[in-house]
Structure 1
């Protein structure tokens, strides 16, 4: 997966371990004996990679897949992503549209939807990509000037985060670029452009 750590040799997350943990089905084999992945397997592998990045063990990931209730998932995620301190406020889910217009800057994983929400809110960002397509969107935000250079999750430290936040708040060029992107999104006709492209493609 682009930007993901994948599975390192000896970390207990090879294909055989995934099968043993019940995270992947045995699957079909090609004539040469190679395992064939279904679309469902690819989606599940992406989910496994994401949770491995957060520090989940294979047993914990299997528990999430076997018991996908929201409360069970949140309980496990809280064990790996919770933060505590006198100068921190943690809460549950908050809509992007409500939260993002309020702070001076946001730190987020740079998923496609979150990146779009930040741009719509005209708020500059510090992107901290974890896996999948997040490194791509993090680079796009930086290329637009609406975000600092990405800080990959595996390389995240308190010092790097503090430095990035200081720059994105103090240097007003980030805020101006985010505002310009928000204006472009609000006044553009994205759906119309997509419809036109589909019609052109359909008619050769």
Structure 2
């Protein structure tokens, strides 16, 4: 394989296009995905990305999918293109958002809420919500605003930030800080005993 050919095969789209362009018979999905065995596994495209790429080409009429077994073959007129032509992006199925992300998104919208409200808005279980909210409180993103007579604990957003949820930073197995992934700022966690005291002593 020449240097130019090897370089082309390192690009997932070019590799898939090249395999399909020169194939004399339908090509399996596995053969497209592993078009170049010399490429490190970490550099290979994921199965989902490969299928998405093939679906875009199929939607543009460049290739045809053959069922049972699943194979692909390039249309005769498409073989005239050395490189894949630009085609419109198709909608992808959104990835399920994590519990932590759903809670953070709801927090940013509601800004002030109790445990029941946040669980309903973020569609999460109370136990998971309480744990994550307490972590955000220890890092200063939230403040407890319980009042005497409240049936459920309440919080208020006190450190607004962007759409990405803060991530936990560990030292060994111990949580030591939260990092704002929008700004890069790091906030050490307050001792959990202080937060536990807030669970008992409601603010009047």
Please tell me the TM-score bracket, short chain as reference: under 0.3
Structure with more relative contact order (C-alpha pairs < 8 Å, separation 6 or more): 1
TM value normalised by structure 2: 0.27
Larger Rg: 2
Which has the larger share of strand?
2
More helix by share: 1
**How high is the TM-score relative to the length of structure 1?**
0.27
